[in-house]
């Protein structure tokens, strides 16, 4: 994400990670303002109302529930009053959600829009919206895949209606949330 913000022209960018290798990689290849921190929560406590935007891409799935709620509370406090939090998580409402959730032993959680709403509410975010994660379409093959996937998702929704099951709108393997402080 740091590289994306850099390409878009943003200059006041800060990254943190608890892993030495990702920090060194980012410092050497992406952006110099990346810091190795012992605790994301503690670091965020030192930066109250400093950020317009905080992102967590493929991070929240790796946290235990209690840690997740505390981290989201710290993220909210670190945002400026109109600040935005953007996250991408594994979508367990997806037909392939369980595969994504359990194919990585470091995953502690998986989310649906409903369960992620619950933790955002516990962290006192004011509002949030969910979006499907869509890969850019770069070829005819990609367009065909999108058409087939849309047909498949329609079929899944139909089957879930027959079963009176939870039937969310977003069925992509990953889910994006944009939350306001």
Taking the C-alpha atoms of residue 129 and residue 109, their distance in angstroms, rounded to an integer, is: 20
Residue 169, in any domain of the structure: yes
User: Is residue 119's pLDDT more than 80?
Assistant: yes
Residue 109, in any domain of the structure: yes
Residue 29, in any domain of the structure: no
CATH of the domain at 173: 3.40.50.150
Residue 150, in any domain of the structure: yes
Residue 17, in any domain of the structure: no
pLDDT-derived band at 59, boundaries 50, 70, 90: very high
In this structure, the strands spanning 51-57 and 174-180 are: unpaired
Residue 159, in any domain of the structure: yes
pTM assigned to the model: 0.86
Residue 13, in any domain of the structure: no
Taking the C-alpha atoms of residue 107 and residue 104, their distance in angstroms, rounded to an integer, is: 6
Q: Which of 134, 138, 136 is CA-nearest to residue 150?
A: 134
Task: Copy the structure tokens of residue 142.
Answer: 């990609």
The region of weakest confidence among 90-94, 116-120, 164-168 is 164-168
The domain tally of the chain equals: 1
pLDDT-derived band at 9, boundaries 50, 70, 90: confident
Q: What is the pLDDT of residues 64-97, one digit of tens each?
A: 999 999 999 999 999 999 999 999 999 999 999 9
Q: What is the pLDDT of residues 136-150, one digit of tens each?
A: 888 999 899 999 999
- The burial class, CB within 10 Å (0-12 / 13-18 / 19+), for 62 is middle
Query: Domain residues for 85?
Result: 39-180
Residue 149, in any domain of the structure: yes
């Amino acid at each position: 994400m740091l590289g994306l913000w850099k390409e878009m022209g943003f200059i006041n960018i800060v990254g943190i990670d608890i892993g030495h290798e990702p920090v060194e990689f980012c410092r050497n290849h992406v952006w110099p303002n990346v810091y190795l921190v012992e605790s994301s929560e503690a670091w965020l406590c030192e930066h109250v109302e400093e950020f317009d935007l905080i992102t967590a891409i493929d991070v929240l799935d790796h946290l235990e529930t209690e840690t997740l709620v505390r981290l989201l509370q710290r993220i909210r406090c670190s945002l400026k009053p109109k600040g935005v939090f953007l996250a991408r998580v594994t979508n367990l409402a997806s037909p392939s959600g369980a595969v994504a959730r359990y194919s990585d032993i470091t995953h502690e959680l998986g989310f649906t829009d409903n369960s992620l709403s619950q933790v955002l509410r516990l962290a006192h975010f004011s509002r949030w919206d969910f979006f499907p994660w869509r890969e850019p379409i770069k070829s005819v093959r990609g367009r065909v895949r999108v058409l087939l996937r849309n047909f498949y998702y329609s079929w899944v929704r139909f089957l879930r209606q027959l079963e009176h099951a939870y039937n969310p709108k977003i069925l992509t393997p990953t889910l994006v949330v944009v939350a306001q402080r």
